[in-house]
């Protein structure tokens, strides 16, 4: 048992992650061709606008299901809404936010764009801690709008008229998943402005602008879109009940900063915070690159039900360093 855990701790989680990302990307984008459909309630982007998809992002059914009047909440429609949420939570629980680091197709595309930039030898932008903090509210605002707009199609607020049905899936209209992911099945039909009504025109124009920002942003800053993602906000709100955890033993931390330098999201707390055990923040995608980069025994660990699956060790750190320098030679 000790041998197995030593060889896991000596491994490079990022190589494993890249492999899982490729497999899941193929499943989410092309699974439909193999008659694979994992679920309609995926805790990550698996876009319903991809014809050949093998699973659907939960934000799509959620926006449809939340178009419900308050008196209907106790009806069959309300039960449907609650059931959908329970299935989503059940899928989320074992993996927590690692859906972002390992599974989300939109996250994977951003990582591929970053690799192109690395190959070209261009440095990345980093945000100061205060800037990341200031941007943090955007994803929560998007999450609130995603719920409030469809809800306003069935409920009048303060005597205001009901919202038009063109707001049925407002977030999908601006999400880069809708425009970018179908491109991988040779479908560019979403790259257009919908002139059928004013709301659709405004939303689809915004969607095109966000798509442009997605590509430019991901080239300039690693995981740029993830900073604004409402799915990340929703997953973070549930993260405390997730079974998979990223934990830190502050007394073993020397504040060397290796973990922060490895972190694509630039999360300062992973290096600076020596007082808290739980290291999952709203921007953390649970990629575990920080654990690989930490040279201190038992300082950072990935735990499932309090059982360590992968943890930082001095031996693991130097083993990875040696392998990397042999690879670069
Ligand atoms: S935060 Fe990034 S990886 Fe996570 S769901 Fe959003 S786009 Fe995908
Ligand atoms: S790499 Fe490890 S020891 Fe260094 S700052 Fe991060 S957690 Fe602390
Ligand atoms: S804190 Fe660690 S697990 Fe979270 S995004 Fe940064 S490197 Fe990945």
Q: Is the CB of 290 under 6 A from ligand 3?
A: yes
Find tokens 């999908």 and name the residue. 172
Per-residue pLDDT of the chain (329 residues; tens, 9 = 90+): 788 999 999 999 999 999 999 999 999 999 999 888 888 899 999 999 999 999 999 999 999 999 999 989 889 999 999 999 999 999 999 999 999 999 999 999 999 999 999 999 888 888 877 887 788 899 999 999 999 999 999 999 888 889 998 999 999 999 999 999 999 999 999 999 999 999 999 999 999 999 999 999 999 999 999 999 999 999 999 999 999 999 999 999 999 999 999 999 999 999 999 999 999 999 999 999 999 999 999 999 999 998 999 999 999 999 999 988 777 66
For ligand 3, mutation pick of 287, 300, 302, 311 (most atoms within 8 Å of CB): 287
pLDDT at site 29 = 95
Residue 194's CB is within 10 A of a number of other CB atoms, namely 16
Rounded Cα distance between 303 and 161, Å, is 50
Beta carbons of 207 and 179 less than 8 angstroms apart = yes
Rounded Cα distance between 307 and 15, Å, is 22
Q: Which two tokens stand for residue 262?
A: 């490895």
Q: Is the CB of 210 under 6 A from ligand 2?
A: no
Report field, pTM of the whole predicted structure over 0.85? yes
Find tokens 């390992």 and name the residue. 102
Tell me the CA–centroid distance for residue 279 and ligand 3, in Å.
Answer: 9
Please give the full DSSP string across 249-318, using - where no structure is assigned.
-GGG-----HHHHH-TT--THHHH--S-SB---TT-----HHHHH--STTSEEEEETTEEEEE--HHHHH
Phi, psi of 128 (to 5 degrees): -65, 160
Ligand 3 atom closest to the CA of 266, numbered from 1: 6
């Amino acid at each position: 048992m000790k041998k197995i855990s030593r060889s896991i701790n000596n491994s490079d989680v990022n190589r494993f992650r890249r492999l899982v990302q490729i497999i899941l990307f193929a499943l989410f984008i092309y699974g439909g061709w193999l008659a694979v459909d994992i679920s309609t309630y995926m805790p990550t982007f698996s876009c319903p606008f991809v014809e050949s998809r093998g699973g659907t992002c939960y934000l799509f059914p959620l926006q449809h299901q939340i178009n419900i009047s308050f008196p209907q909440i106790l009806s069959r429609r309300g039960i449907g809404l609650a059931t959908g949420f329970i299935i989503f939570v059940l899928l989320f629980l074992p993996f927590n936010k690692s859906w972002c680091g390992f599974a989300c197709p939109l996250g994977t595309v951003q990582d591929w764009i970053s690799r192109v930039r690395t190959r070209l030898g261009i440095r990345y932008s980093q945000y100061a801690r205060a800037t990341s903090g200031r941007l943090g509210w955007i994803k929560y605002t998007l999450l609130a709008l995603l719920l409030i707009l469809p809800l306003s199609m069935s409920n009048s607020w303060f005597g205001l008229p009901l919202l038009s049905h063109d707001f049925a899936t407002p977030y999908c209209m601006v999400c880069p998943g809708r425009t970018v992911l179908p491109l991988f099945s040779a479908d560019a039909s979403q790259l257009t402005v919908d002139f059928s009504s004013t709301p659709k025109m405004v939303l689809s124009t915004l969607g095109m602008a966000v798509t442009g920002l997605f590509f430019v942003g991901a080239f300039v800053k690693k995981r740029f879109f993830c900073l604004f993602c409402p799915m990340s906000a929703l997953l973070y709100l549930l993260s405390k009940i997730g079974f998979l955890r990223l934990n830190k033993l502050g007394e073993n931390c020397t504040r060397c900063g290796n973990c922060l330098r490895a972190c694509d999201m630039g999360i300062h707390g992973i290096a600076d915070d020596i007082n808290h055990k739980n290291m999952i923040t709203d921007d953390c995608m649970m990629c575990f690159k920080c654990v690989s980069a930490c040279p201190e025994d038992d300082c950072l660990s990935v735990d499932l039900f309090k059982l360590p699956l992968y943890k930082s060790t001095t031996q693991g750190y130097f083993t990875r360093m040696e392998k990397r320098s042999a690879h670069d030679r």
